[in-house]
A and B are shown apart, each in its own frame.
Chain A
Amino acid sequence: MEESSYSNLSTSHLLGSVPAVANGEKKASYEVPEANLQIFPPNNGSGGGSGRGYQTLEAPTEDFEQQAANNWKGVFSISSYTQYFNVDTDVVIYRLICSFFPATGDFFSKIDANPDLYGLIWITTTLVFALASFGNCATYLMQKHTDGTTSWSFDVGYINAAASGIYGYAVVVPVAFYFLLQYLGSNASLVRFWCMWGYSLSIFVPTAIILLIPLEILRWIIILIAGTASSCFVALNLRTYIEGPNDLRMMVVAAFLLQMALAIFIKVWFFA
């Protein structure tokens, strides 16, 4: 019995003899084979083979497993979140490139089958780092350009401001829209909103690099172009998602304005 459970661990051929993440649920399923409704899929569903073999012993429960669409095993179990990170490198790069061209409003249809939170987390983190570092550089260049004196010192407060601003925006705004749309009767999915807003922030990363140029008027032009692109991305996608009555058009306009406000905040706070 022990041997069969070890040979099913798909980890055993990847590492040394030390097996990874001891999966307690797996052991439970093997000790009680006649537990009918509690068959957990082994190891994030990738351990195929005899796991499904066990399931076919009780056929009606297989339907039950497939109908429960998300594998939610509780808030503190990592395997219940892996379904939102089920993307490969090329998928992420494709979605990033799509977010740079806001003309078509079909982002939601592209992510519909497999929304991911990887983009949200790492694009926001990259943006926080970019704003803090290039913001400091920009202040330094601006001072050298105007005064010629370098009484500049690295301001660590930029990191705090960037982190609270960007993380707060990226987490709170989709939640607010989700609850508002649920309240107004339209059907919304929080994960897809988070995914879309996360990818919409990706335009600001190269913008932060370009904003190093210490010319005030040029900086304003650049940030307005980037802000418009990002806001159009958000607004167009939201509009195609909410195919509904007219009063929901205010949502779209509000999303547009919020994204523009974020762009202006970035310019004013970090690249003054």
Chain B
Amino acid sequence: MSNSHSDTVPLHPSSQSDIDEIENLINASVQSGPATVLPARPPSPPRASIPVSSTPFIQSQIPPPPPQSSSSNQKVPTVAAAPPPPPPYVGNSSSIAATGFGPAPNTLTEPVWDTVKRDLSRIVSNLKLVVFPNPYREDPGKALRDWDLWGPFFFIVFLGLTLSWSASVKKSEVFAVAFALLAAGAVILTLNVLLLGGHIIFFQSLSLLGYCLFPLDIGALICMLKDNVIVKIVVVSVTLAWSSWAAYPFMSSAVNPRRKALALYPVFLMYVSVGFLIIAIN
């Protein structure tokens, strides 16, 4: 499919990097013996494996015995050569081979801390991709390949709570307004891009707009702690600029260049209104 592409349609730079990525993965897996294709997101460590053919009295809750882990150590260096960051949880690649895209029974029986840690690390990595300068910024399709909605949820709720805490009257109404504004705003902004004939994935865009709230979260926290109006205005302006800078590449590449301003203005409007809410609440 990719070959016919190169004949007719010029590839987007990100497509070429994706094709390289896939080819490297295929080469890496061919080199490492058993056909293991790493799934897109790091799989959970298969710690507690449900014994299939053992007697009822043998409980294998402990991690698999050393002979298997030494073979996985041997596999890790070759796998680490692949361009995507080597997943920190590649434990038992032989069991990964058995279960394509993520071993289902193992995520059910793994400890809760593992699940939470995996989600937290995904939030942190998405945050680093979106909000901080990094080499992937010109490639918006790659930026949030592994999108999730936990991060945006935490940031929106945190912002609502901070605003509600710093308000002196009508606290619950402030939280309701902030939450509704941000949640409905993210949905409406995504619909706006789709209606203007742009091409984005709905949940990826929701996720991105949620992650871009992180600077405003920091701003709201600082404004809650320090109540001077001038300081608030400066802090909010800086974090507002930071949020807009984070959201700009993704939104502007999603639509026709003649309609770029039409897609970006509502994003700016939403962040300015949230910024104003942060300054004005006292």
Contact = CB atoms under 8 A, between A and B. Distances in A.
Contacts of A87: 259, 262
A46 interface: yes
11 contacts: A12-B12, A15-B14, A15-B140, A16-B14, A78-B195, A85-B195, A88-B258, A89-B259, A122-B265, A125-B269, A160-B177
B273 A14 contact: no
Q: How large is the interface on A (under 10, 10 to 19, 20 to 34, 35 or more residues)?
A: 35 or more
A118 interface: yes
Contact of A17 (B9, B19, B168, B266): B19
Interface in B226-276: 253-254, 256, 258-262, 265-266, 269, 272-273, 276
Interface in B20-41: none
Q: Which of A6, A20, A122 has the most CB of B within 10 A?
A: A20
B143 to A, nearest CB: 9
B191 A78 contact: yes
B18 A16 contact: yes
Given A20-B200, A85-B196, A156-B173, A12 B15 contact: yes
Interface string A42-82: 00101000000000000000000000000000000010011
B145 A18 contact: yes
Contacts of A155: 170
Contacts of B98: none
A46 B5 contact: no
A220 interface: no
A25 to B, nearest CB: 15
Contacts of A6: 1, 5
Closest 5 A-B residue pairs measured CB to CB?
A: A16-B141, A16-B14, A20-B199, A15-B141, A17-B18
B199 A16 contact: no
B101 to A, nearest CB: 16
Contacts of B142: 16
Secondary structure at the A interface, as helix, strand, loop or mixed, is helix
A13 B196 contact: no
B197 A82 contact: yes
Contacts of B169: 153
A198 to B, nearest CB: 14
Contacts of B202: 21
Contacts of A90: 258
Interface residues of B, number: 52
Contacts of B265: 122
Nearest to B173: A156
A142 B123 CA distance: 45
A179 to B, nearest CB: 26
Given A21-B199, A90-B258, A154-B280, 4 more contacts: A84-B195, A89-B261, A118-B262, A133-B276
Contact of B170 (A18, A88, A157): A157
Most B-side CB within 10 Å, residue of A12, A17, A118: A17
Contacts of A15: 12, 14, 140-141, 199-200, 253
A82 B199 CA distance: 12
A167 to B, nearest CB: 12
Contacts of B272: 129
B191 A14 contact: no
B9 A78 contact: no
A88 B259 contact: yes
B183 interface: no
A248 interface: no
B177 to A, nearest CB: 5
B223 to A, nearest CB: 13
A170 to B, nearest CB: 16
A14 B139 contact: no
Contacts of A136: 280
A21 B177 contact: no
Given A20-B200, A85-B195, A153-B168, A7 B4 contact: yes
Interface string A129-153: 1000100110000000000000001
A81 B11 CA distance: 30
A6 to B, nearest CB: 6
Contact of A81 (B145, B195, B269): B195
Interface in A11-46: 11-18, 20-21, 44, 46
Contacts of A44: 197
A114 interface: no
Contacts of B253: 14-15
A21 B139 CA distance: 18
Given A12-B5, A17-B15, A133 B258 contact: no
Interface string B185-199: 000000110111101
A92 interface: yes
Contact of A154 (B4, B167, B192, B201): B167
